[in-house]
Amino acid sequence: MNRRTFLATGAVAAGMSVAAVPAHAQAGDRRYVSSLAELRWALAFAEPGSTITVADGNYEVPDGESIAISGKRGRPGRPITVRAQSVGGVVLTGEQSFVLAGSSDITLEGFAFRQRATFDVPPDCRRIRLSRNDFQLADLDGVHWVMIRADHSTLDHNAFHGKSTLGIFLGVEGAGDDQMAQGVHIYRNHFYDHTFPGDNGGEPIRLGLSPRALSVAGGLVESNLFERANGDPEAISVKSSGNLIRHNTIRDSLGGIVLRHGNDNRVEGNYFLSGKNGIRIYGNDHLVVNNYLENIAGTAVVLGSGSERDHTPGEPPETRRGNDAPDRVRIALNTVLDCDNAIAGESHRTVPPLGCSITDNLLVGDRGQLMNMPFQDGVTWAGNLHWGAASDGNAPAGGFRRLDPKLAAGADGVRRLTASSPAINAATQTYRDVDTDLDGDRRTGWADVGADEYSRRKPSRHPLTAAEVGPHAR
């Protein structure tokens, strides 16, 4: 089967009875369909717990005749599931494929999306799950591929790849102009080969926009892999508040993690390997902890400065687009190795950080500077460990010690503490809100300096590989 075409289903609107449903799409908990007409029929009669399996093949959805999922409501734990016969075996082409409206507890699984328009999950939906799909939409300039605006949506084990033009892979927004979708969970996805040559507008993930910065989203972005994410300096661009970004791996990419707008975000336990950007920070009350950055051809961690002190509700749009100076940001227990510069600030914006701290980080390098903070009055240092031929920069003498941390690379290439490391139990601060380290080992007593808490146990976490994410991962 090389191609499936749409068959008109005007009889549905005319009130055709259940008895007229095609044989492959009989009402019941499980249905098998082999045309778009049968798929439409099956969706019309789907109930909580129904599973509709679409036969493998290429399906062209004619313009203006999308596959509507409207007013369909599964239940938590009993979604309406529409799935491909085999993962990636159903290819959907055309202007649009599925169009959702007023629906909840819907799962779309295993499809290869090749449509020309954005796949949109609107704010009148809830608990929509996109799982084990392959997104490679038409490579059109300015087209965002997936936009999530529905509360408590889930995106897991998908692949996003092969875009060379302006536009993002995945965006999260919300209702109206200033709200964010609540509780979106993004995990075990593979983002790769975004090659847009511009310097802005090609993010793999964008959580919000400047008008939505003060909206608390409660999003969780975890255990995703980014490779050759070169469409933007921001692989994960955070423009909202109250999100958790953890356990992601960014490898061989231009993009890093940027807290561009918003407050009270947490960046924890991420790996940055052989890229060009690490972590960049604006806004208030963020925690950047347990991250591992190695061989970054730039500055690993940038504590920015601002064009204004704080964003406020009702401020003019031009002000909201500016940079909010960091207040009360904590940069702690990170490991930075062999980067051009380890931790630095900015001087081209004039509103300095305020009440920020840089504590108990492990900074090792043979080039550049380990610390360069042009605005020092608003920053405190304590317990950092420096080593290597790189200069200490302008770190205050009481804020660091220079000692060999005695690291050794594991089978995964990550350099961790050995038993004789002076970093063990050497933290100068207490971290009651940091329970584990980069590897998943518990932080007990006085923490070890850097992202690794020394342990003889095999790490439970490591840099992700392509086999561990995406549609075919276990």
Which pLDDT score, from 0 to 100, does residue 473 have?
Answer: 98
Task: Say how far apart CA 33 and CA 31 lie, in whole Å.
Answer: 7
Q: What is each CA distance from 165 to 121, 197, 384, 447, in whole angstroms?
A: 22, 8, 42, 45
Is 233 part of a structural domain of the chain? yes
DSSP state of 151: B
* Position with higher pLDDT, 106 vs 12: 106
Scan for tokens 């075409």, then name that residue: 5
The helix/strand/coil state of 13 is: helix
Is 58 part of a structural domain of the chain? no
Q: Which amino acid would we find at residue 136?
A: Q
> Which residues form the domain of 342?
118-468
Is 34 part of a structural domain of the chain? no
CB 186 within 8 A of CB 153: no
DSSP track, 260-284: EE-SS-EEES-EEES-S--EEE-SB
Over residues 422-461, the pLDDT tens digits come to 999 999 999 999 999 999 999 988 999 999 999 999 999 9
Which pLDDT score, from 0 to 100, does residue 335 have?
Answer: 98
Task: State percent of the chain over pLDDT 90.
Answer: 90
Is 41 part of a structural domain of the chain? no
Task: Say how far apart CA 11 and CA 6 lie, in whole Å.
Answer: 14
The Cβ-side half-sphere exposure at 172, using a 13 Å CA radius, reads: 33
Is 183 part of a structural domain of the chain? yes
The helix/strand/coil state of 81 is: strand
* Position with higher pLDDT, 22 vs 105: 105
CB 292 within 8 A of CB 335: yes
Q: What is each CA distance from 122 to 110, 130, 180, 235, 442, in whole angstroms?
A: 21, 14, 12, 24, 40
Domain count for the chain, please give it: 1
Q: What is the mean pLDDT of residues 147-166?
A: 98
Taking Cα atoms as reference points, which of 334, 234, 313 lies closest to residue 280?
234
What is the token pair recorded at 419? 């038993």
Residue 6 — very low, low, confident or very high, per pLDDT cuts 50/70/90? very low
Is 61 part of a structural domain of the chain? no
Which pLDDT score, from 0 to 100, does residue 314 have?
Answer: 87
Which pLDDT score, from 0 to 100, does residue 84 have?
Answer: 98
Task: Say how far apart CA 67 and CA 95 lie, in whole Å.
Answer: 11
H-run or E-run covering 300 = strand 299-303
Over residues 134-148, the pLDDT tens digits come to 999 999 999 999 999
Mean pLDDT (the chain) is 93
pTM of structure: 0.93
CB 418 within 8 A of CB 407: yes
Over residues 306-326, the pLDDT tens digits come to 999 999 998 888 888 899 999
CB 262 within 8 A of CB 208: yes
The helix/strand/coil state of 116 is: coil
CB 282 within 8 A of CB 300: no
Residue 13 — very low, low, confident or very high, per pLDDT cuts 50/70/90? very low
Q: What is each CA distance from 46 to 32, 92, 99, in whole angstroms?
A: 12, 21, 16
Over residues 250-262, the pLDDT tens digits come to 999 999 999 999 9
Q: What is the mean pLDDT of residues 258-276?
A: 98
Is 269 part of a structural domain of the chain? yes
Q: What is the CATH number of the domain that holds 218?
A: 2.160.20.10
Task: Say how far apart CA 30 and CA 104 lie, in whole Å.
Answer: 19
Which pLDDT score, from 0 to 100, does residue 466 have?
Answer: 98
Which pLDDT score, from 0 to 100, does residue 318 have?
Answer: 80
Task: Say how far apart CA 8 and CA 173 lie, in whole Å.
Answer: 34
What is the token pair recorded at 120? 């949109």
Q: What is the mean pLDDT of residues 99-121?
A: 98
Over residues 116-131, the pLDDT tens digits come to 999 999 999 999 999 9
Over residues 57-93, the pLDDT tens digits come to 999 999 999 999 999 999 999 999 999 999 999 999 9
Residue 360 pLDDT greater than 90, yes or no: yes
Is 165 part of a structural domain of the chain? yes
Q: What is the mean pLDDT of residues 276-299?
A: 98
